[in-house]
């Protein structure tokens, strides 16, 4: 069955490559979840970088949008929040899901979907939980949990690495950051998947179910807010928001929007990079051998994996004025999509970008965390979790073997994995 799946994927990828170069340029657009599910979007981005790096799509399932596909152009957009605003959304939303919120409910915004000054004060409120000092305190706990997870894994038996390792470690960490009831931590995983998967391609079937599930999520966190706001301040994210000078009077809609951001940011991205690291090393056995020979390469391998994986494929902005870029005029109010996944494969900036090389001279030269005021607030936590899990893996297992092509997420936003079958042949 696995072989058949591989054959199907190979055919799909070949067809996608053919279509990428035969489709008229003006009709080419990368925002198709099926391409990401099949890992078949690369030729589309390669052609756009070469022939139309600032590219307009007049209509799609996500409406009209501009694609920015080269590294330096993405950097320019991401660093210019005056012209490229986050206030009208930071992702492409399918037309079918644009009404997921109850139309009678007040709308809110998270701090990443804000412009200064609101963005700055809300981000500043949660930043201490992710500071170097806070992470140094958290590191021993992450290491203890990583060890527990790895010691619980079966040897010589097939299992799903995504579920037993990647989801478990990141959900444990996120539960700690929220001071969320530990025994209920998988609710965070479920809510994250519901928010990032199109209805019908994840844990919810349709918009009505999505509204119901997110209502349950936000109701739960409203309860946590009410508990924390009436208690002494602590170091968890909910308490910080409830007691922060600039956030304690925020609307519940804004609080819920920030909860959504923190759940996704603290969960999906890191867990998919953990899974991606195992896949990348399996697909590049020479690099796995290099890592075994020199475990000091783990930090460099982590950065290379974050580039190679690019766990969030894009971020979007809306222009506040007409803007000339690459000989094109982007009109005020246009949606602009920064394809990080493409920028990380731009050979004009990154040498041999399609190759996975764990000892690159500049391994942190990637754009997976974004740039400017919206650079990922939890980037160091992501790197810490990845580094620790691999330090603990190397102490225990000489090899992790991927048994079949992984099942990838049906999403143009979260570039991840739903299932990856592996076996641990032996334990050290």
Asked whether 164 and 153 are in contact (CB, 8 A), the reply is yes
What is the rounded CA–CA span in Å between residue 169 and residue 143?
10
16 found inside a domain: no
Asked whether 329 and 322 are in contact (CB, 8 A), the reply is yes
DSSP codes of every residue in 328-389: EEEPTT-EEEEEHHHHTT-TTTSSSTTS--TT-SSTT---TT--GGGS-TTHHHHHHHHHHH
Closest of 50, 49, 30 to residue 41, by C-alpha: 30
Q: What is the pLDDT, as a whole number, of residue 95?
A: 72
User: What's 352's domain CATH number?
Assistant: 1.10.630.10
357 found inside a domain: yes
Q: What is the pLDDT, as a whole number, of residue 293?
A: 97
Query: Is-cis flag, bond preceding 117, omega within 30?
Result: yes
State the total domains in the chain: 1
Residue 315 forms beta bridges with which residues? 338
8 found inside a domain: no
Half-sphere exposure of 299 (CA within 13 A, CB side): 7
Three-state SS for 84? strand
Q: How would you list the strands of the sheet with 401-402, edge to edge?
A: 159-160, 421-423, 401-402
- Name the phi and psi angles at 286, rounded to 5: -65, -35
Asked whether 185 and 170 are in contact (CB, 8 A), the reply is no
What is the rounded CA–CA span in Å between residue 135 and residue 279?
27
Torsion of CA 15, 21, 26, 28, to 10 degrees: 40
Asked whether 266 and 173 are in contact (CB, 8 A), the reply is yes
pTM over 0.85: yes
Q: What is the pLDDT, as a whole number, of residue 106?
A: 41
Helices (H) and strands (E) in the chain, counts: 16, 12
305 found inside a domain: yes
- Name the phi and psi angles at 335, rounded to 5: -85, 130
Torsion of CA 290, 291, 297, 299, to 10 degrees: 140
281 found inside a domain: yes
Q: What is the pLDDT, as a whole number, of residue 226?
A: 94
415 found inside a domain: yes
Asked whether 101 and 93 are in contact (CB, 8 A), the reply is no
Q: What is the pLDDT, as a whole number, of residue 116?
A: 52
What is the rounded CA–CA span in Å between residue 348 and residue 351?
7
43 found inside a domain: no
Half-sphere exposure of 292 (CA within 13 A, CB side): 14
What is the rounded CA–CA span in Å between residue 173 and residue 165?
12
What is the rounded CA–CA span in Å between residue 147 and residue 151?
6
396 found inside a domain: yes
Closest of 388, 326, 394 to residue 74, by C-alpha: 326
Measure the N-to-C terminal CA separation of the chain; round to a whole number of Å: 32
Three-state SS for 289? helix
Per-residue pLDDT of the chain in tens (428 residues, 90 and over written 9) = 345 677 888 999 999 999 999 999 999 999 999 999 999 999 999 999 999 999 999 999 999 999 999 999 999 999 998 999 988 888 898 776 555 444 444 444 444 444 555 555 555 666 776 778 878 888 999 999 999 999 999 999 999 999 999 999 999 988 988 899 999 999 999 999 988 888 888 899 988 898 899 999 999 999 999 999 999 988 888 888 888 887 888 888 888 888 888 888 777 778 999 999 999 999 999 999 999 999 999 999 999 999 999 999 999 999 999 999 999 999 999 999 999 999 999 999 999 999 999 999 999 899 998 887 767 777 888 899 999 999 999 999 999 999 999 999 999 999 999 999 999 999 99
Q: What is the pLDDT, as a whole number, of residue 329?
A: 97
**Domain containing 221: what range?**
59-423
| Residue 372 zone, left/alpha/beta (φ > 0; ψ -120 to 50; rest) | left
């Amino acid at each position: 069955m696995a072989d058949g799946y591989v054959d199907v994927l190979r055919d799909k990828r070949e067809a996608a490559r053919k279509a990428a170069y035969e489709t008229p340029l003006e009709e080419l657009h990368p925002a198709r979840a099926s391409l990401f599910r099949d890992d078949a979007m690369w030729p589309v981005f390669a052609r756009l970088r070469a022939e139309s790096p600032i590219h307009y799509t007049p209509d799609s399932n996500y409406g009209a949008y501009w694609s920015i596909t080269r590294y330096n152009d993405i950097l320019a957009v991401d660093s210019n929040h005056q012209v490229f605003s986050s206030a009208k959304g930071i992702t492409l939303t399918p037309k079918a899901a644009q009404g997921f919120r109850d139309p009678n409910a007040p709308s809110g915004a998270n701090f990443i979907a804000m412009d200064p000054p609101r963005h700055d004060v809300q981000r500043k409120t949660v930043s201490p939980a992710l500071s170097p000092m806070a992470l140094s305190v958290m590191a021993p706990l992450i290491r203890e949990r990583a060890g527990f997870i790895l010691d619980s894994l079966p040897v010589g038996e097939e299992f799903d690495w995504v579920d037993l390792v990647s989801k478990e470690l990141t959900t444990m960490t996120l539960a700690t950051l929220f001071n969320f009831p530990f025994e209920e931590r998988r609710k965070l995983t479920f809510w994250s998947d519901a928010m990032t998967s199109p209805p019908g391609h994840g844990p919810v079937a349709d918009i009505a179910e999505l509204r119901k599930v997110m209502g349950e999520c936000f109701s739960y966190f409203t309860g946590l807010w009410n508990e924390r706001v009436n208690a002494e301040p602590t170091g968890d994210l909910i308490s910080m928001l409830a007691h922060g000078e600039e956030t304690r009077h925020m609307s519940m809609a804004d609080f819920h929007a920030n909860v959504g951001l923190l759940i996704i940011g603290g969960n999906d991205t890191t867990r998919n990079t953990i899974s991606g690291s195992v896949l990348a090393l399996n697909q590049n056995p020479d690099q796995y051998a290099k890592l075994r020979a020199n475990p000091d390469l783990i930090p460099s391998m982590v950065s290379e994996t974050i580039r190679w994986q690019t766990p969030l494929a894009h971020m979007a902005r809306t222009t506040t004025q007409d803007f000339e870029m690459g000989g094109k005029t982007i009109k005020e109010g246009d949606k602009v999509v920064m394809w990080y996944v493409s920028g990380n494969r731009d050979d004009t900036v990154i040498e041999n970008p399609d190759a996975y090389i764990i000892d690159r001279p500049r391994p942190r030269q990637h754009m997976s965390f974004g740039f400017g005021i919206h650079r990922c607030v939890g980037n160091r936590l992501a790197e810490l979790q990845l580094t620790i899990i691999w330090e603990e893996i190397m102490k225990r297992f000489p090899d992790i073997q991927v048994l079949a092509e992984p099942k990838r997420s049906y999403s143009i936003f979260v570039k991840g994995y739903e299932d990856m079958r592996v076996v641990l042949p032996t334990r050290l």
